Amino acid sequence: MEQQQQQQQGMSEDVNLLVKFTTKQEQYAVPGTSVSVRASTNPSGLDKVIGAFIKHDSDYQKSLPNFHFIVKGQLLHGTLQERLEECGESFESVVEIEYLEKQPPPTPKDSLHHDDWVAALQCSDKWLLTGCYDNTLHLWDVAGLAAGKGDRAHTLTIPAHRAPVKAVTWVHTDTPTKTFISTSIDQTAVIWVWQSETNTVECVSECRGHTQSVECVAVDHSKQFFATGSWDNMLKIWSTVNKGVEEEEEEEDEERDLKKRRAAKKPQKKIPILTLGGHTESVGGVVWTGDREVATASWDHSLRVWDTDIGGIKSQINGNNAFFAVAWSPLNRLLLTGCADRFIRMYDPRVTEGAVVQQKFSSHTKWVPSVKWSTTKEHQFVSGGYDSIVKHWDSRSPKIPLYDLTGHEDKVLSVDWSHPRFIVSGSSDCTVKVFTDGQP
């Protein structure tokens, strides 16, 4: 057989390969026999093969979906031959192909209009929180978005800050009393409590300590702490819990009216639990990678993992470019970073030496200021770039994203996939686009 294959290889380019199909989706399982397939087969060709296989072996009566095929750890886009040549694999051994059902593409659901650039957003299970460059926060009803209500889903506008909002995050979303945090160029992070039933919002505490714009915020899994990164190169850890009323400082005149607007109750002033200095340039992204572990991405070309117990650096990964954003998934424990050179890089925080870049995703044509892992799918993530495209990626397909989500007319500043069903993106064209992820 091998000789025959070699002869065929010599004679023509089209070689027959022995492949073996495996899957993790049981409803599409096929017996593990190896099949001979032409090397020039592309995914659609394999689709037919596997379709025939499934129909032959099982009593699967429904119409079959299309499949993705994973060859040697990466999604197959071209032909089998190209993929194998890329890996430097021989054509003689049995090639194992994993297949999984192809998702339908995300569908654009809604476009939410804002008055200014949307710098930050996060979706909880029922509410979408957006932060704007006009110093306001907005709350949107997710159910309304799903129904396609558009701007009617808008629930609340909060004139939150004295300068553009840079980052927002939900803290507690379970009870009717919900908590979220917003940070801004005005050098503060503010904890808000929102009564969803009465639709009233209250500024619980104002976190002061940063001397420059607070660029990013992240809440830990226990919802007790949150970390903020700022342009002043500092990482600060704060508590979400209020511990009694502190002494009030004298307020300046200009802040007074804002306070009045915010709430009758004066917000508590908070000081950080911990200040971690070490970055030489501003911190662009922060993410909790464990109970007591924070990872930061900085403009000084480094990724650092901090231990909040000790209050020091745990490990450091050096890159070649300024990092703008970082994302971490508990499913695969990998870091994704958006860089100043249009590539998305995947790092394993445990690997700090040698080839630290696990994967480089190249499809964006400009800077990528935000990336987010899917909360439910191990291999999928979204990214938004200054090329005004949101891209839906599979981490096993480094060159070609699964889907390009277009619609924005200007730079995409932030994306979010916290709600498993919704991919939301905020842009400098003053809109938030909502896409429903294809899987029902």
Partner 1 sequence: MSGKRKRQDTSELQNNVFNGGREINCMVNINTEDNEDTSDSESSDIDEEDIEDVSDDEYEEEDDSNEADSLDEDDTDEENEQHQEDNEENCDTKAKNKQHTRSDRDSGIDDSPNDKEETTEDKYKLFKSKATRRQISKTKSTSDKDTQECSQDPEIPDEYEEDSSDEEDLRNTIGNVPLKWYDEYPHLGYNLDGKHIIKPKRGDTLDNFLNRIENPDFDRTVFDKQTGQDVRLSDADLDIVKRVMSQKVPDASYDYYAPWIDHFTYEVMEMPLSGRTDSKKSFVPSKDEAAYVAKRAEQIRRGLIQYTHKREKKYHFYDLWSDKKRLRRIHDPMPAPKVKLPGHWFSYNPPREYLPHFNKPFGSLREVPGYKHFIHECWERCIDLYIAPRKRVLRVNASSKDLIPVLPKAQDLQPFPTMEGLVFKGHRSIIRSISIHPLGKFLASGSDDQTVKIWEISTGRCLRSFDIEAAVKWVAWNPSSKLFLLGIVIEKKVIFLNPETYLTDKVVVKQTNAVFKEEPDQGDYIQPERVRTAVTWRKPTADEWAKGYRIVIDHFRSVKQIVWHKQGDYFATVIPQGDHRSVLMHQLSRWRSQVPFNKCKGLVQAVQFHPKLPFLYVATQSHIRVYNLQKQRILKKVQANCRWISSIAIHPGGEHFLISGYDCRLNWFEMEYTKRPRILRYHKAAVRCAAYHRKYPLFASASDEGRVIVSHGMVYNDWLKDPFIVPVKELKGHKMFEGLCVLDVTWHPYEPFLFTSGADATIRLWH
Site residues, partner 1 (CB under 8 A): 117, 119, 133, 162-164, 185-187, 211-213, 231-232, 281-282, 284, 299, 320-322, 324, 340-342, 366-367, 369, 386, 411, 413, 428
Residue listed under structure tokens 């400009």: 366
Residue whose CB is less far from partner 1, 75 or 214? 214
Distance of CA 433 to the CA centre of its chain: 15
Query: Minimum Å distance from CB 427 to partner 1?
Result: 11
Greatest Cα-to-Cα distance within the chain, rounded to the nearest angstrom: 88
Instruction: State whether residue 44 is helix, strand or coil.
Output: helix
Beta bridge partners of 158: 137
Helix (H) or strand (E) holding 297: strand 293-298
Residue (of 438, 437, 384) closest to 412 by Cα position: 384
Residue whose CB is less far from partner 1, 291 or 410? 410
Q: Are 274 and 236 in contact (CB under 8 A)?
A: yes
Beta bridge partners of 237: 227, 274
Residue whose CB is less far from partner 1, 256 or 333? 256
Residue whose CB is less far from partner 1, 43 or 369? 369
Residue whose CB is less far from partner 1, 133 or 194? 133
Strands (DSSP E) found in 142-247: 154-159, 165-172, 177-184, 188-195, 200-208, 214-219, 225-230, 234-239
Contact residues for 80 (Cβ-Cβ < 8 A; gap 6+): 17, 19, 37, 38, 39, 40, 41, 42, 46, 71, 95
Query: Minimum Å distance from CB 340 to partner 1?
Result: 6
Query: Minimum Å distance from CB 325 to partner 1?
Result: 11
Query: Minimum Å distance from CB 42 to partner 1?
Result: 32
Distance in angstroms (rounded) separating the CA atoms of residues 21 and 50: 8
Distance in angstroms (rounded) separating the CA atoms of residues 287 and 344: 16
* 417-420: Cβ within 8 A, 24+ apart: 417/123, 417/372, 417/373, 417/374, 417/375, 417/381, 417/382, 418/122, 418/123, 418/124, 418/170, 418/372, 418/375, 419/123, 419/124, 419/125, 419/128, 419/142, 420/374, 420/375, 420/376
Distance of CA 120 to the CA centre of its chain: 13
Residue whose CB is less far from partner 1, 102 or 208? 208
Residue whose CB is less far from partner 1, 39 or 389? 389
First to last CA, the chain: 45
Query: Minimum Å distance from CB 362 to partner 1?
Result: 13
Query: Minimum Å distance from CB 390 to partner 1?
Result: 16
Query: Minimum Å distance from CB 322 to partner 1?
Result: 6
Query: Minimum Å distance from CB 119 to partner 1?
Result: 8
Instruction: State whether residue 147 is helix, strand or coil.
Output: coil
Query: Minimum Å distance from CB 153 to partner 1?
Result: 26
Residue whose CB is less far from partner 1, 37 or 413? 413
Q: Are 344 and 368 in contact (CB under 8 A)?
A: yes
Residue whose CB is less far from partner 1, 48 or 360? 360
Distance in angstroms (rounded) separating the CA atoms of residues 422 and 427: 16
Query: Minimum Å distance from CB 120 to partner 1?
Result: 12
Q: Are 303 and 296 in contact (CB under 8 A)?
A: yes
Query: Minimum Å distance from CB 185 to partner 1?
Result: 5
Residue whose CB is less far from partner 1, 213 or 418? 213
Residue whose CB is less far from partner 1, 13 or 253? 253
